Structure 1
Amino acid sequence: MSNPDARVIAEVLEDAYGLPGALLERLPIGQVTVNYRARLGRRVLFVKHYQSGADLAAEQAAIGQSRLAGEHRVPVASVLPSIGGQDITQRGPVAVSVWEWRPGTVVQDGLNPVQQRAAGAVLGRLHNAFADHPAGRRPSTKLDKWMRPNVGRLEETIDKLLGIAGERAQQDTFDEEALRTLAERHAVLPRIPDLLAGLPPLTSQVLHGDYSAVNLLFDGDELTAVLDFLPPDPFLAAYELGRIAFDVRTVVLDEDWITSGTRLVAAYLETNPHLPTADVTACARAALLQLLTSLYGVKQHYLRPGLLQDDLDEFWLLRHAASMRLLERLDEVEAALTQVARHR
């Protein structure tokens, strides 16, 4: 085992979990943690290695959210406590959590209709379960900032990124795409205030926090696990619903993406029928606003590359393309969502 971190993790598994002889394979997933598959004979486990500086208290709270969701029939992976009963074990600079391996894979090219209904129904069950979460009575740490994006700062950042990409002596394919997409994004920033003004009062509650396709495992059409919960912090239910209903892969790769999105929303309402119509109708707008005010991917490329920057580059291009389609057809999408809400 040439990776020194992997050697230390194997030692932690033996000493703290009573799991000797683990064979670790680093997985090409994760932007916040380094993840491994651990094989112990026929048993397979999933190991998260938290990076230096990680907020382990927040990570512990996130594990609590996963456990709570599981109690409400949301399919989740089970965390494996250490011999001492700890969900997260730290040995010097190395901190890990260990999880039972769940069957399934991440769908990379857009959910099919059965998977969309499954994703919607499970999210509805999750939101219903978390609606009365005690943390939901606290002020959101991010909602006020989200509702008042600094468009001027976004313009400045785009100008900076355009300058870096444009001044490269030898531009590669991504530089060319970045110059095009950043210019398009700059041009639509003035529309953000009107989009925000069109939002009605929306429901804020504790959510999954990152309910996206990359955090859903499917075994065929069966949703086998919802992964990577965030700590409890209230935010817009409409945003989390819109984000998965109008997942960027669906919007870009599915010609009938509006029907696909409303199909997922209809399944959501079967398990969470109490979400107000205003939240349902506004969910695509909320997802669009998040896309338009985020430079995730391209910002990392030029300022601070991530762990898997090639994936981030591709994700930026998908997110930008999806934002342009949503913006162009937003009136049509919201009309379709209103119909779904009325016929729940």
Structure 2
Amino acid sequence: MTAPTPTIADVLERRYGIVPERLVQLPIGQGTTNYRATCAGRDVFVKNYPPGSDLAGEADAIELSALAERHGTPVAGLLRNHVGDPIDTSSPYALSVWEWVPGAVVTTNLTVGQARAAGATLGRVHSAFAPLPASTGPSPQAQNWLAVDLADMAATIDRLSDIAKARMATGPTDPFDAQAVRTLAERRDSIGTIPRLMAELPKLTTQVLHGDYSPVNLIFDGDRLSAVIDFRPPDPFFVAYEVGRVAFYPNTVATTTDWPATARTLIEAYVRANPTVADDDIRACARVALLQLLTSLYGVKQHYLKPGLFQDALDEFWLLRHQAVRVLLDHQADTDALLHDIISNR
């Protein structure tokens, strides 16, 4: 197979009429390989999908981005190839091309303005997607999420811990191994709380979501949200999940002391923008965020079983997610009170 950079540069020129003067791989993204192409007078963002990707689903995700834009969400502009395709498959490297959006990703210490913008924009996205036919269909993803296999999870934790311990015993020393052994032992002790947390959940709304709405997919220019990127294919899941995930984002919860105020600002803005959201979905969003973190071994699992594209970032994310679990477990009464207050003041 031809080397990716020359092939991608050729596709850009042949299929898009774009001649890149420079094509640089970006150290972001775990599911796709991403590039910044510098051209005469403009830059573009290139997303290269790995072999085996569901390209039909990715095309549907691109349509969701366009729908969100029609309802007032700022998004990156898609550039179609010469024949109008959203994804080019003329080479072994399937790709989509987007306008470059200047700005910055902010994963901790969101300002009040940024939190408000993130919440209001998510509210508009959910309001726009709720009427879609797929939103009223079944949600296998939600059913699978609710059916946690604790025995299997415990076995996986033990397996990962054993691998880390074996590496520590044989060397060379990797500081992450000791961190993994400690955090996995703490997670093993915590998973017994999962059945109670699940039992306390109300009936939750499912619908088509953004699918990956988190600070890493929000581009800010100061307090202004200049683009929401990386919409995922339409696969109905819990509204409470997507609200809770961004409001109680691990980086924020694990590294700041004012995370409750950030969550309040974001959720209040969300409710104003999506006033038909059910009280139970707001009431449960912190609990769902906690359960998502508590039942996930994302990061540490990749480290020992199948390393990701940027495993160092995944290692750090595992540690932040684990710390966020500890904080949210210790502050369940506080988050319950915060959400009750938001609902009471609707």
What residue in structure 1 maps to residue 230 of structure 2?
228
Select which of 266, 284, 287 maps to 1:285.
287
Contact 2:268–2:342 at 8 Å: present in 1 too? yes
What SS class does the counterpart of residue 36 from structure 1 fall into?
strand
Match of 2:246 among 236, 244, 247: 244
Kept in 2, the 8 Å contact 1:10–1:22? The answer is no
CA contact (8 A) 1:13 1:22 kept: no
Cα distance in 2 for partners of 1:110, 1:161 equals 32
Q: Are residues 12 and 340 of structure 1, via their aligned partners in 2, closer, same or farther at CA, if it must alter by over 3 Å?
A: same
Contact 2:20/2:37 (<8 A) preserved: no
Q: Deviations over 1:101-131 (max 9, x none)?
A: 1111111333222111110010011111111
The aligned residue for residue 54 of structure 1 is 53
Cα RMSD for the two superposed structures: 1.1
Q: How far apart in 2 are the matches of 1:286 and 1:22?
A: 46
* Equivalent residues of 1:143, 1:235 under 8 A apart: yes
After superposition, where does 1:1-344 map in structure 2 within 5 Å?
4-168=3-167, 169-170=170-171, 171-344=173-346
Residue 328 of structure 2 aligns to which amino acid in structure 1?
L
**Whole-Å Cα distance in 2 between the matches of residues 308 and 103 of structure 1?**
23
Total equivalences in the alignment:
342
Is the 8 Å Cα contact of residues 107 and 252 (structure 2) preserved in structure 1?
no
Q: What TM-score, normalized to structure 1?
A: 0.97
- Residue 21 (structure 1) shift: 4.2
The one-letter code matched in structure 2 to 1:134 is P
- CA distance in structure 1 between the partners assigned to 2:320 and 2:148 by the alignment: 22
Name stretches of at least 5 consecutive residues in structure 1 with no aligned partner. Answer: none
Contact kept? 1:127, 1:207, Cα under 8 Å: yes
Q: Percent identical across equivalent pairs?
A: 52
Q: Which amino acid aligns with 2:160?
A: L
User: Quick one: distance in 1 between partners of 2:186 and 2:263?
Assistant: 25
SS at match of 2:13: helix
**Is the Cα contact below 8 Å between 1:45 and 1:100 reproduced in 2?**
yes
2-side partners of 1:21 and 1:54: how far apart?
25
**Residue ranges of structure 2 left out of the alignment (5+ in a row):** none
TM-score by length of 2: 0.97
User: Do 1:49 and 1:96's aligned partners in 2 also have CA atoms closer than 8 Å?
Assistant: yes
Structure 1: 4+ residue segments shifted above 6 A? none
d(CA) in 2 for partners of 1:22, 1:48: 17
